[in-house]
């Protein structure tokens, strides 16, 4: 019966992909030539990221005999050169590691509020939010965590020399990398910001003519900074020359980060958050990200329904997904924040029992976010990028990293060649006032010195019978969680292949605003009408997410990169014997 409904679902998805998908969405836009989305498979390891050069940096490390964690460090640094919108050393993120022995570790390198931050820092004299202040410019930045995070992962699990892992990024910065169409357009778009943020001119041609695909972008300042990191580890960033340059930049623009903040920054190891869904085990990012908690809460609720038998993109399945998402984003806004500062009722939020209570209010009609009243919880003691990696030994890495908005705060540290994040906007800058992803929060996520801002990043690993099955993650601000939910449902409930799951259109609901957002082509006219008749407000929006997925089948890993931005999966061919 289950097999039959999977077969029907596959047929439906194939028909939908053929007839209503935007052809651009199943062709990766990696330059002039559109590439078909396909799996890249190997028993020796696979890397998937948004950037071909960064993916190849990871493959190079794996082929040299490094493990998945070594490769993740190399990919992370390479992305800071080849994907400046989100790849970073001036931002932060979360790295989920599962070793060949089945040990799960989460490296939290989320940015922190500087010591001088306070709850009123983005409010005017009337107590109103000055919107741009938490989003653009020097005051928008939290203390960066990436270099500390990559180093911590390396110290615990790495096997090659540290400088060998930073070397590919140095080479890409020094010798340049070739920009594709999308990158050229994106960098040309920064021109309007040059007046306020002159450091962005480092991404322009000397003659200021627009970049075209094929242009080679050199970043000598960044190469020097990366060299300091290669030689000195985190000291090369959080102390000495780089720290001085950040300090000078902050003083120039009225920012808050000090040398002391940088010296004190520490990445931390946390236990991932874990749950079960229809016989699969879900491992993901714990607070200070809401990602894993919300993902598990939504899946727990959906497990109460036979989604597979309702059918892929059936009105009942879509409606249930929306209603579960609505309820979980309300919990996100009330309970979640930095666990070092607030008590989070985590075990209740991810319990099956709580999920059963939550679904009890769901009917076949649209609920209402404003009237939503989740059961009580007892007190208890939006540009980003993702990369997924496996190696020949059976280690897996799932990392999501970000500057927050595209190109972060837009501030390039003078003389150091890298962009700073605008992650302070992920705090609830004022209770009830939405952030740039429309997310509303309260006191759990209020600004405090040294506190980490709440995230939605959800680097995830799914296992079956204790063996890794999926390694997955995506950017997308508040839509990160719902994109991962959809990937898991599409593969586990509806029987889609990895290519289909990554390529198919997405939809999203986040409690407030009370709107179902969807990508062009997601819903047929009939499904749209059915949902509207139930009372849902539907709104078409720009592409959602950029998933980098690996599926493991026995000994073989297969990577698929989302066509929305045009990344690359690549497979290890030969591993050289180590000396
Ligand atoms: O941590 C977060 O949830 C956000 N700063 C992520 C931002 C993001 O994904 C933007 N990408 N499109």
**Domains along the chain with CATH numbers:** 34-40+271-382+457-571 (3.60.20.40), 56-113+127-270+392-427 (no CATH)
**541 alpha carbon – ligand 1 mean position (Å):** 17
Beta strand 538-541 with 516-519: parallel, antiparallel or unpaired?
parallel
Ligand 1 binding pocket (C-beta < 6 A) is 382-384, 402, 404, 423, 426, 455-457, 475-477, 480
| Cα R_g (the chain), whole angstroms | 22
Q: Which atom of ligand 1 is nearest to the CA of 546?
A: 12
Nearest CA to ligand 1 atom 5: 404
Closest residue to atom 4 of ligand 1, CA basis: 382
Between CA 1 and CA 17 the distance in angstroms is 24
C-alpha–C-alpha distance, residues 372 and 120, integer Å: 29
- The 3-state secondary structure of 323-373, one letter per residue: HHHHHHHHHHHHHCCCCCCCCCCHHHHCCHHHHHHHHCCCCCCCCCCCCCC
- Report the pLDDT value the prediction gives residue 15, as an integer from 0 to 100: 53
Ligand 1 center to residue 427 CA distance, Å?
12
- Ligand 1 atom closest to 291 (CA): 3
565 class by beta-carbon count within 10 Å (0-12 exposed, 13-18 middle, 19+ buried):
buried
Q: Whose CA is nearest to atom 1 of ligand 1?
A: 455
Q: What is the pLDDT of residue 9?
A: 59
Candidate of 404, 406, 453 to mutate for ligand 1, largest count of ligand atoms within 8 Å of Cβ: 404
84 Cα–ligand 1 center, Å: 14
Tens-digit pLDDT string for the chain (579 aa): 445 555 655 655 555 554 434 433 343 333 333 468 999 999 999 999 999 999 999 999 999 999 999 999 999 999 999 999 999 999 999 999 999 999 999 999 999 999 999 999 999 999 999 989 999 999 999 999 999 999 999 999 999 999 999 999 999 999 999 999 999 999 999 999 999 999 999 999 999 999 999 999 999 999 999 999 999 999 999 999 999 999 999 999 999 999 999 999 999 999 999 999 999 999 999 999 999 999 999 999 999 999 999 999 999 999 999 999 999 999 999 999 999 999 999 999 999 999 999 999 999 999 898 888 777 766 543 479 999 999 999 999 999 999 999 999 999 999 999 999 999 999 999 988 989 898 988 899 999 999 999 999 999 999 999 999 999 999 999 999 999 999 999 999 999 999 999 999 999 999 999 999 999 999 999 999 999 999 999 999 999 999 999 999 999 999 999 999 989 999 999 999 754
Cα(426) to centroid(ligand 1), Å: 8
| Confidence (pLDDT) at 375 | 73
Among this protein's residues, is 384 annotated catalytic? Answer: yes
Predicted pLDDT at 4? 54
Q: Give the residue whose CA is nearest to atom 2 of ligand 1.
A: 455
Q: Is this prediction's pTM over 0.85?
A: yes
Model pLDDT for residues 374-411, shown as the tens digit of each residue: 777 665 434 799 999 999 999 999 999 999 999 999 99
Going by alpha carbons, the residue nearest to atom 11 of ligand 1 is 383
The pLDDT score that the predictor gives to residue 380 is 46
CB of 107 closer than 8 Å to CB of 97 = yes
In this predicted structure, what is the pLDDT of residue 24?
Answer: 33
93 CA from centroid of ligand 1 (Å) = 9
pLDDT at 373: 77
Q: Is 566 left (phi over 0), alpha (psi -120 to 50) or beta?
A: left
Residue 126: exposure state from Cβ atoms within 10 A (0-12, 13-18, ≥19): exposed
Residue to mutate (ligand 1; options 142, 387, 439, 477; most atoms within 8 A of CB): 477
Residue closest by Cα to atom 7 of ligand 1: 382
Identified catalytic residue from 82, 105, 384, 385: 384
List strand residue ranges (DSSP E) for 168-278, in order: 177-178, 216-217, 268-270, 273-277
Pocket-testing residue among 135, 457, 478, ligand 1, by greatest number of atoms within 8 A of Cβ? 457
The whole-number pLDDT of residue 41 equals 98
Q: Which pLDDT does position 6 carry in this prediction?
A: 57
Ligand 1 nearest-atom number relative to CA 405: 10
Q: Give which of 53, 26, 112 is closest to 387, Cα–Cα.
A: 53
At residue 13, the pLDDT reads 55
């Amino acid at each position: 019966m289950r097999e039959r409904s999977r077969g029907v679902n596959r047929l439906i998805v194939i028909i939908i992909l053929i007839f209503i998908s935007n052809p651009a969405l199943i062709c990766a836009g990696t330059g002039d030539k559109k590439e078909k989305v396909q799996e890249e498979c190997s028993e020796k390891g696979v890397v998937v990221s948004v950037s071909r050069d960064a993916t190849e940096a990871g493959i190079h490390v794996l082929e040299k005999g490094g493990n998945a964690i070594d490769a993740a460090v190399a990919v992370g640094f390479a992305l800071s050169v080849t994907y400046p919108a989100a790849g970073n050393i001036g931002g932060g993120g979360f790295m989920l590691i599962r070793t060949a022995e089945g040990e799960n570790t989460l490296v939290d390198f989320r940015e922190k509020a500087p010591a001088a931050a306070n709850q009123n820092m983005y409010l005017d004299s009337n107590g109103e939010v000055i919107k741009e202040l938490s989003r653009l410019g020097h005051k928008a930045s939290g203390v960066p965590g990436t270099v500390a995070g990559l180093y911590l992962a390396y110290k615990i699990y790495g096997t090659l020399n540290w400088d060998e892992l930073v070397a590919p990024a140095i080479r890409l910065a020094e010798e340049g990398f070739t920009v594709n169409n999308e990158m050229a357009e994106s960098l040309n778009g920064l021109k309007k910001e040059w007046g306020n943020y002159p450091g962005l001119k480092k991404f322009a041609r000397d003659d200021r003519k627009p970049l075209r695909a094929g242009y080679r972008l050199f970043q000598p300042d960044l190469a020097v900074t990366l060299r300091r990191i290669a030689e000195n580890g985190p000291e090369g960033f959080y102390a000495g020359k780089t720290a001085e340059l950040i300090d000078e930049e902050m003083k120039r623009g009225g920012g808050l980060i000090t040398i002391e903040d940088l010296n004190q920054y520490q990445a931390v190891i946390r236990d991932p958050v874990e749950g079960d869904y229809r016989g699969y085990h879900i491992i993901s990012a714990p607070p200070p990200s809401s990602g894993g908690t919300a993902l598990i809460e939504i899946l727990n609720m959906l497990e109460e329904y036979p989604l597979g038998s309702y059918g892929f993109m059936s009105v009942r399945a879509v409606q249930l997904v929306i209603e579960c998402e609505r309820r979980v984003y309300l919990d996100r806004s009330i309970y979640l924040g930095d666990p070092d500062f607030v008590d989070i009722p985590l075990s209740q939020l991810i319990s099956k029992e709580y999920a059963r209570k939550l679904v009890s209010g769901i009917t076949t009609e649209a609920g209402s976010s404003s009237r939503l009243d989740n059961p009580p919880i007892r007190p208890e003691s939006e540009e980003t990028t993702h990369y997924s990696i496996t190696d020949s030994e059976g280690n897996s890495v799932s990392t999501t990293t970000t500057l927050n908005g595209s190109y972060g705060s837009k501030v390039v540290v003078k003389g150091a060649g890298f962009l700073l994040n605008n992650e302070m906007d992920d705090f609830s800058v004022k209770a009830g006032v939405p952030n740039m992803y429309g997310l509303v929060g309260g006191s759990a996520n209020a600004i405090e010195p040294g506190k980490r801002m709440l995230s939605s990043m959800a680097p995830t690993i799914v296992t079956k019978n204790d063996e890794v099955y999926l390694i997955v993650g995506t950017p997308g601000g508040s839509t990160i969680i719902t994109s991962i939910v959809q990937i898991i449902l599409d593969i586990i409930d509806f029987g889609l292949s990895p290519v289909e799951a990554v390529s198919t259109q997405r939809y999203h609901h986040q409690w407030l605003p009370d709107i179902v957002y969807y990508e062009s082509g997601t819903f047929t006219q009939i499904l749209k009408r059915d949902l509207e008749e139930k009372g849902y407000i539907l709104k078409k929006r720009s592409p959602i997410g950029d998933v980098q997925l690996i599926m493991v089948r026995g000994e073989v890993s297969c990577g698929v990169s989302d066509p929305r931005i045009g990344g690359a999966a690549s497979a290890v061919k030969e591993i050289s014997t180590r000396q």
